[in-house]
Chains A and B, each alone.
Chain A
């Protein structure tokens, strides 16, 4: 695991607090100015490194069939436990499968789970959080107590019991990882709505008699996007760690599907016999999560200098 990085919640909430001020600064729905944005992002070496690593992974995942002749699930016991060589760049596993091919194809599952899980958390969590902050009162209280309850499980444990309930497999792992981080999205969106609610343009919209749903959609949502995008990027790393952690425990994506976490779990059995087997899936998970974290930090600095640490 590693999950479940609750530390980001306060960190992002601190950021969200600052973001409120920025929300007031530009007009409702004003597009984020992009000229300075690209420059600021490009100047951030760490963020560019993150983008490059991610780009390599996406390329390997998409072009896997062109880059290797090995089938990631094809077993050949006569070729088992071969150390890295010219023929098998990263060696072969206990069933003689090419590890490099499995890492490349595995990227498809790992990256997809991360992105879709965060998509689920954003699509469900953000509207709930915005409504909670905007309407306040009893709605807010009920939603926040609900978030408190889910937060006390911590994301990894929440995902773990959901997988136990939903059954093991690609789909349930993705949903479980998404729901695991969902309460934090509710919190972030709520903090944003709370400060945007107090702005003059929202007050003006209310005076013009616009309906609450329209105000939420046209004014509150666009102005809360910056911290939400940053938070979502950082959380793709977290959901990857959760999903791979479940795979590692044998409760995630099932073999022979080449998912990095389950590859690492299988390799653990041969830790004394073939330690190189656990090097590459672990390194792949680390680098993928690392790239999203660098990217998230870089986006935060570029999208809104106010949020800078």
Chain B
């Protein structure tokens, strides 16, 4: 078990280093931004001296490396800075909205898994027959649909024409339906494509041929294959979580969803850089965390994977 512990520690360290890199990219990127955050905070009526004063007090006149170090110190203390637009703590604004974004991302992923995996299996087990053609077509169409268009179509159809479901906000359970479906369509397409190709590869393996040769029912062979195809499918589910988070930014904007994705867009438009940095950092950290957990899950699920040896 000590080998496993060492592996966990190594993965944690790698995730931590990636996070440091993410913060470096953020600080360096926003250093070259054309707008001046101090000017935004000071307001349109402030004099040049006042702006200069705020500029200095925020440390914006310091070298980038110093700014990076200061930001790291701040983050280590659990402080993501102060919003240039509202003056509130960035973390408190994010924390109050994060549950909405997470709920949306998890529901979208769940829908993707629930529909995507069976669709992929159906296609793989009927290779080159109509269920495969249909399944593959749904897959390609799903990854080609812009989520912002899917969302608008759903709004027009279910909200405007049929008046069945709410099209904005997150006040009732019913308001979760359209945004989750919007994200779920894309997620389903990715998961079904990957499930199909992994299953095809696995169904072609010798041990599946052996199982089939024993004359078992096809469902038994498929079950064997699925067991072994699970790891790559799990990888895709975890990788597409990042994609779903990116999709959430647009979905939230379309459905006026009170999550951090919509806050990110309004903050970019208002040039509220501390808020933008904070939100992007949280998005990246979530992605790193999900991948870390997936990596560790491998070793638990699949006895063949001994990454830590």
Q: Which residues of A are at the interface with B, using a C-beta cutoff of 8 A?
A: 1-7, 9-11, 14, 46, 145-146, 148-157, 160-162, 164-165, 167, 237, 241, 244-245, 248-251, 264, 268, 271-272, 275, 278, 282-283, 285-286, 289-290, 293-294, 297, 309
Contacts and interface: CB of A to CB of B under 8 A. Distances in A.
What is the interface of chain B mostly: helix, strand, loop, or mixed? helix
A4 B17 CA distance: 24
B242 A152 contact: yes
Contact of B29 (A161, A241, A293, A297): A161
Contacts of B24: 149
A10 B239 contact: yes
A153 to B, nearest CB: 6
A285 B200 CA distance: 31
B92 interface: no
B277 to A, nearest CB: 9
A5 to B, nearest CB: 6
Contacts of B34: 167
A161 B242 contact: no
Contact of B268 (A4, A154, A164): A164
Contacts of A160: 249, 264, 268
Contacts of B253: 249
B147 interface: yes
Interface in B178-231: 186, 190-191, 193-194, 196-198, 200-201
Q: Which 7 A-B residue pairings sit nearest by Cβ, starting from the closest? A: A282-B149, A149-B21, A156-B246, A7-B190, A309-B197, A290-B144, A154-B242
19 contacts: A1-B247, A2-B186, A2-B247, A4-B243, A5-B190, A11-B236, A46-B137, A149-B24, A150-B25, A153-B280, A153-B284, A160-B268, A165-B30, A244-B146, A245-B146, A283-B149, A293-B140, A294-B140, A309-B197
Q: Tell which of A3, A7, A271 has the most Cβ of chain B within 10 Å.
A: A7
Interface stretch (B42-50, B54-62, B68-76, B151-159): B151-159
Contacts of B235: 10
A156 B22 CA distance: 15
Given A6-B243, A10-B235, A290 B30 contact: no
Contact of B194 (A3, A11, A145, A157): A11
B287 interface: yes
Q: Tell which of B24, B191, B250 has the most Cβ of chain A within 10 Å.
A: B250
A5 B239 CA distance: 9
A59 B301 CA distance: 52
Nearest to B32: A165
Contacts of A268: 152, 254
Q: Tell which of B26, B152, B280 has the most Cβ of chain A within 10 Å.
A: B152
Nearest to B17: A145
Contacts of B201: 14
A237 B196 CA distance: 21
A7 to B, nearest CB: 4
B269 A250 contact: yes
Contacts of B298: none
A161 B243 CA distance: 15
Contacts of B193: 7, 11
Contacts of B284: 152-153, 157
